[in-house]
Amino acid sequence: MEKVTINDAQKITSPNPFALVSTKGEDGKVNVMALSWWTYVSNHPATVVICTSDRGYTGGVIKRTREFTLSMPDESLREQAFLCGTCSGRDRDKAVEFGIEFEESETVKVPRVKGSALALECRLKDTVPLGDHTMYIAEVTAVWADKEKRPVFAAEGYRKLRAFEVIE
């Protein structure tokens, strides 16, 4: 073995689960952010963790509104989803700019990304500061799936999004 950087480690462990995190600000603006730093952490209650940069826009909205949705886009949304990771929603309406549509959520005010393979409605339970990122611990309040769709994963160290065959 040889000593490598954390960036090298991320490339070696690709692919990673990929999602679009949606938030809705106090002004009603819906933002969507590309994210692969998330995971399930409990089944009872259903809980997920996401991690965002402290420089970003999304984390601040989550801290204030205490809710978000986590949508796993289908491969038909691959290009739009990738573009959401190339800019900040602070000054741009990424959903309009990239043609991302939403559908109403049942348990939170934040809409889900339409056309997703899976979507989770989430309520913030706690935050943990971690260096230059913050971890958001959230209870999953509703789960939606379209089993005919294939989600995309971040591959090649987050440089590409790919769908993979499901092996049963």
Question: Whole-structure pTM over 0.85, yes or no?
Answer: yes
Q: Are 76 and 115 in contact (CB under 8 A)?
A: yes
What digits encode the pLDDT tens for the residues 57-105? 999 999 999 999 999 999 999 999 999 988 888 889 999 999 999 999 9
Point out the residues of the chain with pLDDT beneath 70.
Answer: 165-168
Structural domains in the chain, CATH included, are: 6-163 (2.30.110.10)
> Which H/E stretch holds residue 62?
helix 58-65
Is the omega angle on the peptide bond into residue 45 within 30 degrees of 0, that is, cis?
Answer: yes
